[in-house]
Amino acid sequence: MSLIGKKAPSFNADAVINGGEIVNNFSLDQYIGKKYVILFFYPKDFTFVCPTELLAFQDALEEFEKRHVAVVACSTDTEQSHWGWLQVALDKGGIKGVTYPIVADTTKTISMNYDVLAGDYQVDENNNITANGPMVAYRGLFLIDKNGIVRHILINDMPLGRSVDEALRMVDALQFFEENGEVCPANWSKGKKAMKATHDGVADYLAKK
């Protein structure tokens, strides 16, 4: 079932922050009432498409921060694996220089609760997962508002990298709607005309295209 319009699943997990500091009990709850969140999942550390995405989000981090958005990454690797990858230079396949939090979903439960876990699995009466398959995360991205509600979801298969520009566009669209009450039509981007959510509003918008 889609998480759109629902409370983002809460979690507490180990994470690496500031490019090399391991912390316990990292939670998105710290952002409620303060910041929007882009939470994105990726399959594995020390791979190929993944570093391009993590570095692209780092390159755009200032733009997210201008919009009061916290960027948080997550994979099923351990916090030690995240830390090790963060120490490797870019020309060696590493992600050195990434400063936003990277969460360690070692129990697979975060990926499972966000419905991005690849593989066939079952949960027994003791909440243990038994599985067949890779048991790593698809490329899921979730835009969460300041109230902790999921407002946008994008899930790509593993070979397909995401567009950071599209993530920024969706943040802009949500914030524009919240501030102005107008809705954002197809291919809307910041600075373009929006429209009122009425029949007359749609007609006016289409007439002026």
Structural domains of the chain, ranges and CATH numbers in brackets: 13-161 (3.40.30.10), 163-209 (no CATH)
**Closest of 146, 129, 168, 134 to residue 40, by C-alpha:** 168
* Rounded-to-integer distance, Cα 112 and Cα 163, Å: 23
Residue type at 14? D
Q: Kindly tell me if the per-residue pLDDT of 30 is higher than 90.
A: yes
* Rounded-to-integer distance, Cα 17 and Cα 191, Å: 34
Q: What is the DSSP string of 48-81?
A: SHHHHHHHHHHHTHHHHHHTTEEEEEEESS-HHH
* CA angle, 202 then 208 then 209, to 5°: 90
Record the pTM. 0.92
For residue 143, the model assigns a pLDDT of 98
Which of 38-42, 89-93, 119-123 has the largest mean confidence? 38-42
* Rounded-to-integer distance, Cα 39 and Cα 71, Å: 6
For residue 135, the model assigns a pLDDT of 86
Structure token digits, residue 124: 């027994």
For residue 126, the model assigns a pLDDT of 79
* Catalytic (active site) residue 50: yes
Who's near 81: CB < 8 A, 6+ residues apart? 45, 46, 104
Q: Given the structure tokens 């755009």, which residue do they identify?
A: 60
Confidence of residue 97 (pLDDT cuts 50, 70, 90): very high
Q: Kindly tell me if the per-residue pLDDT of 17 is higher than 90.
A: yes
Structure token digits, residue 70: 């916290």
Catalytic residue among 15, 50, 117, 168: 50
The pLDDT mean for the chain works out to: 93
* Rounded-to-integer distance, Cα 78 and Cα 104, Å: 5
Q: Kindly tell me if the per-residue pLDDT of 205 is higher than 80.
A: no
Question: Residues 117-134: what's their mean pLDDT?
Answer: 75
